[in-house]
Amino acid sequence: MRIFDPHIHMTSRTTDDYEAMHAAGVRAVVEPSFWLGQPRTSPASFRDYFDSLLGWEPFRAAQYGISHHCTIALNPKEANDPRCAPVLDELPRYLVKDNVVAVGEIGYDSMTPAEDTALAAQLQLAADHGLPALVHTPHRDKFAGLRRTLDVVRESALPAERVLVDHLNETTVKEAKDSGCWLGFSVYPDTKMDEERMVAILRAYGPEQVLVNSAADWGKSDPLKTRKVADLMLAEGFGEDDVDRVLWRNPVAFYGLSGRLNLDVTGTEPTHEGNSILRGVPKDPHEPDPASGAPARVPATEA
């Protein structure tokens, strides 16, 4: 079974999680930019975070044979903090990077004027950069939040089929599906969705354009929820093709809209994918490339 977790905050997780995820079948993740629990106080803090999503975290993931991409944005909560909002001006230089496959998470937290401004501006940035958008729907006043989100999307330059609305549930799935957006569901131990309710929604609404994620982060969450949904789908009579569609092909199709999704796990060897010219050792063209197809090596890093 191959699994793509389309929303997981690996920066907050340990290497044990990466190991368990790989064992469960996870081969690709997208890590959306979000808040960190502790509020940030300046754009510099965002820059370090974005750099980590484009540097260290993909390296960590590759050590465990998992492809890592990210989405970049000013999140809705911190859009309200005037100390953080100026990072909006710095997003364009991040949105051109190879590993950035969407603008996100954007959307609403408390539905303030500052959030309106940040959401509209970042939907425009997505359109300008040829990127889809990952839109967080609020946890409080959720249904009203979804409607307002969909209104802003309709008024934006970004077509609905390039938008994923996330954290949906029984109360918001129908309106979201009718909008033409992609449908994201976060499966959590206690809050958001659980496996049984997720399977019921799949039965009622079908697997088309549905993405299931763990949204695992620094809170109580479980990076293996994607696999648990897949297992329950099979137990409840869904076929392997449906599971592959929801847990792999749908996220590949959505983030593939960026044109930047590269699911070959880049090895963590210093020689980039066997590109020996850069090592200075001319390579024998008849020699088989030891790097291609080899599983990622897990170095015993101590430093």
266 is a contact residue toward another protein (CB under 8 A): yes
Q: Give the number of residues in contact with another protein, rule: CB under 8 A.
A: 37
Q: Which is nearer to another protein, 37 or 299 (CB)?
A: 299
130 is a contact residue toward another protein (CB under 8 A): no
174 is a contact residue toward another protein (CB under 8 A): no
Which of 6, 32, 58, 207: binder of another protein (CB under 8 A)?
58
Which of 139, 174, 203, 297: binder of another protein (CB under 8 A)?
297
Options 71-79, 135-143, 220-228, 258-266: segment touching another protein (CB under 8 A): 258-266
Nearest distance from C-beta of residue 53 to another protein, angstroms: 9
Nearest distance from C-beta of residue 79 to another protein, angstroms: 21
Q: Tokens for 149? A: 């989100």
Q: Which is nearer to another protein, 62 or 163 (CB)?
A: 62
What is the C-alpha separation between 104 and 153, in angstroms, rounded? Answer: 13
What share of residues in the chain are helix, strand, coil (percent, to 5)?
A: 45, 15, 40
Which of 281, 286, 288, 293: binder of another protein (CB under 8 A)?
281
262 is a contact residue toward another protein (CB under 8 A): yes
268 is a contact residue toward another protein (CB under 8 A): yes
Cβ atoms of 240 and 234 closer than 8 Å: yes
Residue recorded with tokens 């609305």: 165
Which of 23, 39, 41, 59: binder of another protein (CB under 8 A)?
59
Burial of 160 (C-beta count, 10 Å sphere; 0-12/13-18/19+): middle
Which of 37, 113, 277, 287: binder of another protein (CB under 8 A)?
277
Q: What is the 3-state secondary structure (H, E, C) of 6-29?
A: CCCCHHHCCHHHHHHHHHHCEEEE
List binders of another protein among 93-112 (CB under 8 A). Answer: 93, 96-99
Strand 100-107 and strand 163-166: the pairing is: unpaired
128 is a contact residue toward another protein (CB under 8 A): no
259 is a contact residue toward another protein (CB under 8 A): yes
Which of 15, 43, 269, 296: binder of another protein (CB under 8 A)?
269
Nearest distance from C-beta of residue 299 to another protein, angstroms: 4
Sheet holding 67-72, edge to edge: 3-5, 26-32, 67-72, 100-107, 133-136, 163-166, 182-186, 210-213
278 is a contact residue toward another protein (CB under 8 A): yes
Cβ atoms of 166 and 134 closer than 8 Å: yes
Query: To 5 degrees, how large is the angle CA 20–CA 24–CA 30?
Result: 80
272 is a contact residue toward another protein (CB under 8 A): yes
Spatial neighbors of 147 by CB under 8 A, at least 6 apart, are: 175
Binding site for another protein (CB under 8 A): 51, 54-56, 58-59, 92-93, 96-99, 259-260, 262, 264, 266, 268-275, 277-282, 297, 299-303
